[in-house]
Amino acid sequence: MTAALGVFLALFVLVTGLGFWASRWRPGDLNLLSEWGLGGRRFGSFVTWFLLGGDLYTAYTFIAVPALVFGQGALGFFALPYTIIMYPVMFVIMPRLWTIARERGYVTAADFVEHKFDCRMLGLLVAITGILATMPYIALQLVGLQVVLAALHVGGSGTWADAPLVIAFVILAAYTYTGGLRAPALIAIVKDILIYTTVLTAIIVIPAHLGGWAGIFGHIPAAKLTFPAPPPHSTGIYSGYATLALGSALALMMYPHTITGVLGAKSAGVVQRNAVFLPAYSFILGLLALFGYMAYVAHVNTLPQFQAGFKAYGPSYAVPALLMRFLPSWFVGFAFAAIAIGALVPAAIMSVAAANLFTRNIYKAFLDPGVSTTGEARTAKLASLFVKLGALAFVLGIPEKYAIMLQLLGGVWIIQTFPAIVIGLYTRWPHRYALVLGWLVGMIAGTGMVASLSFKGVIYPLVIAGHTFPAYAALYALAVNLAVTVVGTWVFNVLHIGAGQDGTLDAQPRGA
């Protein structure tokens, strides 16, 4: 593995240098939060495409999607329709959010919600939800990096076992602190070149060793290629698959890192163009999912040289094992660098997004309303360090299964901000206190449904009149949230409880 490690380190040093140089790229005053946290809102179509791609298609995606196909078969392909569903939603709603945020100087979605509904508490809840949902997401990026480092046999023993991961974290923290959103935006270009090259090469070379695609699919059991027919009085896995795709698409649009990537664009037109062209990533994601089938046919989990990796990481080790089994050592280093850099880019964006939320909607709103613009940016930089430190503590101190559990909950939680953000873009009709109440009930209902599944899944089997309807718990919780919001709005209006003033009326969206 000497050649692999050499190539890996060379590429890692390259992106580290780019990360630190990013503070000089497209110069701006990094003592302003909009410059540090949004790149000055100056990213054009080309950079935004890579930024959002690096933001949405993460290292954990690279590891987890094939792992799910490897372990459970066709269910793993739910990631394809959900990324396809997401882009029409992005095309419609995100240019509108960008326009209002640009004209009002908003840095976060919580800024918009707070002023739209004249409710600091609602803005605070959106911010807290975003931070809570983002933390385990960052941790899982570091898990992806951890898998790659283990495959390269990079690590010490005893108290030094996690030293390489800590070093990578320190480097990530340092260039994010200095460059803000510019750093991952620049590195994302290199990351995507590496990932595209890796996937397109592997999808040609590896099947040649396995008898071609006919040979691969000929050895896949039918149970892994299709879903079983639903039992009587149940929609079976069909409704679970469909709602998981739809709910995941809506949830991903609400994550702070997605919104931060969008608000960094230089125009609403840039956002719309990227919504049109970003599905190109879904093509690569589909090819990537096929890695799971290749790993299954290659029986990589039974090979003696990979037993330790599978024992430590389970199906998440399938992709590293597959690459090491069939590709030359130097290219393995290239591919592993793609995965590692694919962890650092979204982790950086997520930490910046969480820092923006903390600074604007917690620190400035409640702790120091008179903070200067320089103090605001300094607080965000420090907050980004603490966010990454928390994610690192997650990985080092908590079993991976709990990080995955919390990430599953993250999707259930973040979708509860959908009514306040998306409905608020089009109407002021929902009452602010009804939105707060809807959020609370939705959070409790969603968490309760996942808890009833022992935190091992998110497909909740709702039973109505003897019929079972398995569906994504996040959508069921969102339906409860919306119902409470509608009823609560009517009640609060009947009671003549003040709805506050719309602070965005002078920032109505214009054409993209």
pLDDT value, residue 301 = 94
At 459, is the secondary structure helix, strand, or coil? Answer: strand
In 3D space, the residue among 25, 62, 23 whose CA is nearest the CA of residue 292 turns out to be: 62
Determine contact, residues 59/339, Cβ cutoff 8 Å. Answer: yes
Quote the CA–CA distance of 41 and 275 in Å, as a whole number: 17
- Specify the pLDDT at position 105: 94
Rounded distance between C-alpha atoms, residue 199 and residue 204, angstroms: 9
Q: What is the rounded CA–CA span in Å between residue 160 and residue 488?
A: 55
Can you read off the two tokens belonging to residue 158?
A: 């005893």
CA 164 to chain CA centroid, Å, is: 24
| Residue 57: per-residue pLDDT | 80
Is residue 136 within 8 Å of residue 407, measured between CB atoms? yes
What confidence score (pLDDT) does residue 511 get?
39
**Cβ atoms of residues 377 and 363 within 8 Å:** no
97 vs 112: CA distance, rounded Å: 8
| Ranges of the chain with pLDDT below 50 | 507-512
Contacts of residue 245, defined as CB under 8 A and 6 or more positions apart, other chains included, come to: 78, 81, 82, 85
Please tell me the predicted confidence (pLDDT) of residue 506.
62
Domain ranges for the chain = 2-229+239-406
Structure tokens at 359: 């600074």
pLDDT at 153 (0 to 100): 84
Distance between CA atoms of residues 327 and 333, nearest Å = 10
Query: What pLDDT shows up at residue 178?
Result: 93
Q: Could you give the C-alpha distances from 2 to 9, 30, 112, 282, 412, in angstroms and in order? A: 11, 40, 51, 33, 43
- pTM, two decimals, is 0.93
Q: Looking at the domain 2-229+239-406, which fold is it?
A: Sodium/glucose cotransporter (1.20.1730)
What pLDDT does residue 313 have?
86
Spatial contact of 459 and 240, defined as CB atoms under 8 Å apart:
yes
In whole angstroms, give the CA distance from residue 212 to residue 45. 38
Give the model's pLDDT for residue 312.
85
